[in-house]
């Protein structure tokens, strides 16, 4: 049974006080929603305030990134065990805003940001393995650029990203993690992947996981991310392969985010 996960990625938004105010506004709005798991992923500086504000609620906390080493001279980096100690359950890994695509020179602004931070499929894998070792559940992001989609490369790109991201994992580890399909061209642009097409790509990811990890693929949760909003959430959540959403801009306001949570709750945890 796969329970949908709605995770809010606040990116570089919200101070400690703003995080506490958001939680105070959100928790009553989703108190009656069943059949869905909710997580908030604030910036590092607001993790403690968010954990404290959520104490006693069922909402989980996730971080937006991590490093793969436990300790060392890595200025500015945060180790998975530190996030676990801070109260995190999840960590986002490989978000498209951090990713580079196999070292290729970027062709658009969004890709330039990803290349600037230098994330690759290899570092995504190292971070995911380190997160699992620390007891965190990774939310591993995959997705193609507009140029790759226009060239008809979506399937090959996503399959290869999944293969590289999950390399070296056990079936038990794969069964407990989360993959977020985020078409790069839909993130922060207002464009959303057609629900049927999103469902098809998620099914492709699950098929690839099944070929490598057998029955573990049945419990692997695969989210959609990319301009998810209250007005398109219900249609996305009705798709059988979509196990929730990784929400960006719409996660910054309690009313908008709670509407997406409600849409997932209406579908409920009946995916197998």
Q: What is the 3-state secondary structure (H, E, C) of the chain?
A: CECCEEEEECCCCCCHHHHHHHHHHHHHHHCCCCCCEEEEECCHHHHHHHHHHCCCCCCEEEECCCCCCCCCCCCCCCCHHHHHHHCCCEEEECCCCCECCCCCCCCCHHHHHHHHHCECHHHHHHHHHHHHHCCCEEEEEECCCHHHHHCCCHHHHHHHHHHHHCCCCCHHHHHHCEEEECCHHHCCCCCCCCHHHHHHHHHHHHHHHHHHHHHHHHCCEEEEECCCCHHHHHHHHCCCCCCEEEECHHHCCHHHHHHHHHHHHHHCCCEC
Binned at pLDDT 50, 70 and 90, residue 191 comes out as confident
Query: Do 184 and 271 have their domain in common?
Result: no
153 counts as catalytic:
no
pTM here is 0.92
The CATH number of the domain holding residue 161 is 3.20.20.70
Binned at pLDDT 50, 70 and 90, residue 110 comes out as very low
For residues 39 and 137, give the distance between their C-alpha atoms in angstroms, rounded to a whole number.
12
Query: Do 92 and 199 have their domain in common?
Result: yes
Domain that holds residue 20: 1-62+230-238+253-272
Query: Do 135 and 212 have their domain in common?
Result: yes
Binned at pLDDT 50, 70 and 90, residue 271 comes out as low
Residue 43 forms part of a structural domain: yes
Query: Do 32 and 147 have their domain in common?
Result: no
Candidates 95, 97, 148, 241; catalytic one: 95
Query: Do 79 and 207 have their domain in common?
Result: yes
Query: Do 171 and 211 have their domain in common?
Result: yes
| pLDDT given for residue 105 in this prediction | 40
Residue 190 forms part of a structural domain: yes
Q: How many domains does the chain have?
A: 2
Residue 17 forms part of a structural domain: yes
Residue 245 forms part of a structural domain: no
Query: Do 47 and 108 have their domain in common?
Result: no
Candidates 37, 97, 148, 182; catalytic one: 182
Residue 244 forms part of a structural domain: no
144 counts as catalytic:
no
In tens, the pLDDT along 220-269 reads 999 999 889 999 999 999 999 999 999 999 999 999 999 999 999 987 55
Query: Do 206 and 90 have their domain in common?
Result: yes
150 or 9, which is more confident?
Answer: 9
Query: Do 166 and 100 have their domain in common?
Result: yes
In this predicted structure, the answer to whether residue 102 has a pLDDT above a threshold of 60 is no
């Amino acid at each position: 049974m796969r329970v949908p996960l709605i995770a809010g990625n606040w990116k570089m938004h919200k101070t400690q006080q703003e995080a506490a105010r958001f939680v105070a506004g959100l928790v009553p709005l989703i108190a009656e929603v069943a059949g869905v798991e909710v997580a908030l992923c604030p910036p590092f500086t607001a993790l403690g305030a968010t954990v404290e504000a959520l104490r006693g609620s069922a909402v989980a906390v996730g971080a937006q990134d991590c490093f793969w080493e436990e300790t060392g001279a890595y200025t500015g980096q945060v180790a998975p065990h530190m996030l676990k100690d801070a109260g995190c359950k999840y960590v986002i890994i490989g978000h498209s805003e951090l990713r580079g695509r196999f070292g290729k020179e970027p062709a658009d602004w969004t890709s330039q940001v990803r290349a600037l931070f230098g994330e690759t499929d290899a570092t995504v894998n190292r971070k995911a393995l380190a997160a699992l070792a620390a007891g965190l559940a990774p939310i591993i992001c995959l997705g193609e650029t507009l140029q790759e989609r226009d060239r008809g490369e979506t399937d090959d790109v996503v399959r290869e990203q999944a293969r590289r991201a999950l390399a070296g994992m056990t079936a038990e580890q794969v069964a407990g993690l989360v993959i977020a399909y985020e078409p790069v061209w839909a993130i922060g642009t207002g464009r959303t992947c057609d629900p049927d097409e999103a469902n098809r790509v998620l099914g492709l990811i699950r098929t690839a996981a099944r070929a490598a990890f057998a029955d573990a693929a049945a419990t692997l949760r695969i989210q959609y991310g990319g301009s998810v909003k209250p007005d398109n959430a219900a249609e996305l959540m009705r798709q059988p392969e979509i196990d929730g959403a990784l929400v960006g801009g719409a996660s910054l306001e309690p009313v908008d985010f709670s509407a997406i949570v409600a849409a997932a709750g209406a579908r409920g945890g009946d995916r197998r």
